[in-house]
Structure formats: structure tokens, C-alpha cells
Amino acid sequence: MGSFYIKGPRKLIGEVHISGSKNEALKLIPLSICLKSKIMIKNVPKILDIYSQLEVFKFLGGETEFNENLILDSKNIKKSNIVCESAKNLRASVVFLGPLLGRFKQAQIPFPGGCAIGLRPIDTHLNAFRALGVNVTQKDDIITLTLGDIKAEKIKLDEKSVSATENILLFLSGIKRKVSVLNCAIEPEIMHLVKILNRAGAKIRLIKDRTFEIEGSDNLTISSIKVMPDRIEAGTFAIAFLATGGEGMIKPFESEYLNNLIDILKNCGADIEIDRKNKMCRIKSTDIYRGFNIKTGPYPDFPTDLQSPMALIASRARGKSQIHETMFENRLGYLNSLGKMGLKYKILNRHRAEIYGPCDLKSSNLESLDLRSGITMLLASIMSRGESEIKNAEVIDRGYEDIEEKLIKLGANIKRSNG
């Protein structure tokens, strides 16, 4: 595994371009299995998770071409199982279940992996398929699904799971039957997927706050789609400018999907100007921030993927800031690493923590625990005096395209060693 070596402190100043959404692009690869023809996907980020998902697609027999755009052709796919190493190590591989089940009437996957941020069972996926009439069996770490008669007209997800919602949407979009699905996630990436599926020939409506009515088609066809900008990357850079005492322009910036973050940052004292027409955000730091309280939750609540970078704002804020992480029970572990850099904090329990500021951060040798804590360590090192080493650089590469090049362009002093 490689490492980043960072010399600080540095202020990040300049303009940054936001890549395509990791969380959307990962699900558009399984989508291609539902289609009758090849598809071109524009604005796909070149990140490790995408390459892993493409390895799964190629294991199935799919053909890919990935230059400026990603071209996928599923016509030669004959397998209905993804029992391979790439699938085991990637959480998003679970979303192959729905498309494979719809195409082959059966599917087999290994229990999926991903970031070590707590228990992430896929019971919500499996129970939803069971409710639709799918037989589910598990032997060791292999899960097998076999399609029976779909008789249900309405099912309810156990929780507002993003990937379970996407799995069921993809599956039902290829089935000629009308089914309502309750308690769905409604993240922007899901709503964009709904638009894509409707363009391909499905009929999907959001009939209540979290209820989709889905009427599928056995002839889904769409030739070209474009991945939306990554709202989590955009939010990360907004925090990065403020935490390092810098200023900059972020574009494209889909502000309507980040209202929660924008409101909190403004209340902390940040200077933020939004140009909705041109999808840009101009952001400027202040000398010291006010403390804040955040509580993560399913969209439109505060995104769990941005709570760890917010700890860096708390380190510069006057007084106490509070973090309530409701989504995952191990996502506060990064605070112990930031504590080695001088952060003053207290973990109250698995879901709650307090941070006491302001405090100066110092350099340290750390390890990326997961994708979002990894980017937090990287930004903390830019803020800190001295040279830091962040091990497991590839963990950050899983979700941020050209991260060191973007940060260097903004003034950071970063070198990578592939080790």
C-alpha cells in the first residue's frame, strides 16, 4: 500500500472541478445488464471503486471501453453469479443482484465488503426480494436468489437503504408488473437513476414522500447517459477551503443537494456565495468559527459521508461542537487518529462525540481507516505544522479522482509513495 507525505500548514486557494458521482456511477454499471443494447456513460470518475466494479462486470462476460467515456456492452454476459474477489471487496457489488435476477431469474453473490465503518448487513435487500416472491438461500458467504412468481403489489423496505432501493428499482424496472415500494431512500443519485430508467422505458413515480410506484418493461433501452456531479466531493472541498483557512471556487456545485451543509457552514461563520444558474460556489474562510451540532441521517438529513471532515471545522471553532452519527456505529474511530494530531475530543458512545476548539493540529503518521476518514486525515495534515504520513493512500483513491493533483493545484504540498 502507498502513502501520502504532506507538509503543512498550507491554505487551499483556487478553483476545483468536481468529478462525476461515485455513488451514482457505481450503480450505472449494473444497470447496463438490464439493457438490450450497449450504453455510453459520460462523466464517470476514474477511481478504484469504479475499476473494481468494472472487474465484476467483466467477470460476468461484459465488454468495456473506458477512455474519456465509459462504454458498456452486456450482450455476451452468460453468468448469473459474481463470486469473485472484486465483488467480495466492494460493497456496491450487491447492486448486481437486481439486474442479474431480472435477466437470468437467478443470481449468486458473495457477501459484499467495503469500508470498515460498522455492521452493514444486506438483510434489507434480501427481505425485499423475499417479499416479492424470490427464494433466498445462504451457504457460508455465498447468497443465492431464485425468482418465483411475483404476486406482491406492495412491499416495504426494512430501512431507508440507498443500495437496497437501487437494487429493487433496477430489478422491477425490467419486470412487466406494477409494484409499489415503501420506505425508500430518496438521495439525489436515486432520483437521477429514476429519470434514467424512465428514459429507458420504465414507468416510475414517487407517489408519496418515500414510496415509488414502478411499472417495468422487458425492453429497456438507452444509449447515452451522464453521471451527475459528486455532491460529497463538492462538500468535502467546501470544508477543505474553510478548514485550511483558504478560499476558492467549486464547480459544478449542485447547491440544492447540499442545503444542509451550506446552512451549517454559514452558521459557523463561513462566507459562501451560491450561483445556482451556473452551478458554482464561492467560499471564503474566517479566522475562527462557531461551534455546531450535526446529526447524520438519510437524505435530506446531514450526509454521513461529510461528518468526519466536519471535525476539522470543529478544531477551528470556538467552544464545543457535537456530532451525532446515526448511520454507522464505527464511524467515529477517526477521532482517535485526529487526537494524535492534537484534536481535543470526547467520544460519548458509538454514535456521539464532542469536539472542543480551537486547537492547533500537529503532524503525525497515520493510516486511512476508510474512505471518508482517509480524506479527513489528508486534509488535517494540510492544516498541520510539519510533515505527516498518511498510509493506505489507495483507500482514498477509492472515492476521490486525482485527489493529490487537485489539492496540489490548490496549494497543498503532497507527494505520493507507492510503497
Domains of the chain, with CATH numbers?
Answer: 3-19+229-417 (3.65.10.10), 22-226 (3.65.10.10)
User: Where does residue 191 rank: exposed (0-12), middle (13-18), buried (19+ CB within 10 A)?
Assistant: middle
Give 143's strand partners: 109, 138
Q: Reduce the secondary structure of 228-253 to three states and give it as a string.
A: CECHHHHHHHHHHHHHCCCEEEEECC
Predicted pLDDT at 329: 82
Q: Which pLDDT does position 70 carry in this prediction?
A: 98
Between CA 108 and CA 122, with CA 330 as vertex, the angle to 5 degrees is 20
Give the pLDDT confidence score for residue 406 in this predicted structure: 98
Supply the pLDDT for residue 113: 53
Beta bridge partners of 353: 323, 347
Estimate to the nearest angstrom the gap between the alpha carbon of 238 and the chain centroid.
Answer: 17
pLDDT digits (tens, 9 = 90+) for 256-309: 999 999 999 999 999 999 999 999 999 999 998 999 999 999 999 999 999 999
- The residues that are catalytic are 115
Eight-class DSSP state of 385: B
- Chain-centre distance for alpha carbon 134: 28
CA 32 vs. chain centroid, Å, equals: 20
Q: Virtual CA dihedral for 48, 52, 54, 55, nearest 10 degrees?
A: 140
Cα separation, 11 vs 239, in Å, equals 12
Q: Are 70 and 40 in contact, with CB atoms under 8 Å apart?
A: yes
- Residue 99 and residue 34 in contact, taking contact as beta carbons nearer than 8 Å: yes
Helix (H/G/I), strand (E/B), else coil: 339: helix
Q: How many other CB atoms sit within 10 Å of the CB of residue 340?
A: 13
Q: Which three cell numbers stand for residue 227?
A: 453521471
Q: What is the CA radius of gyration of the chain?
A: 22
pLDDT value at residue 174:
95
User: Coil, helix or strand for 322?
Assistant: strand
Burial class of 327 by CB neighbour count within 10 A (0 to 12, 13 to 18, 19+): middle
Taking the C-alpha atoms of residue 183 and residue 210, their distance in angstroms, rounded to an integer, is 5
Could you say which residues of the chain have pLDDT below 50?
Answer: 114-120
Q: For residue 161, give the nearest of 136, 181, 188, 183 by alpha carbon.
A: 183
For 200, the enclosing helix (H) or strand (E) is helix 188-200
Taking each helix axis from N to C terminus, what angle separates 22-31 and 188-200, rounded to the nearest 10 degrees?
30
For the record, the C-alpha cell of 311 comes out as 471535525
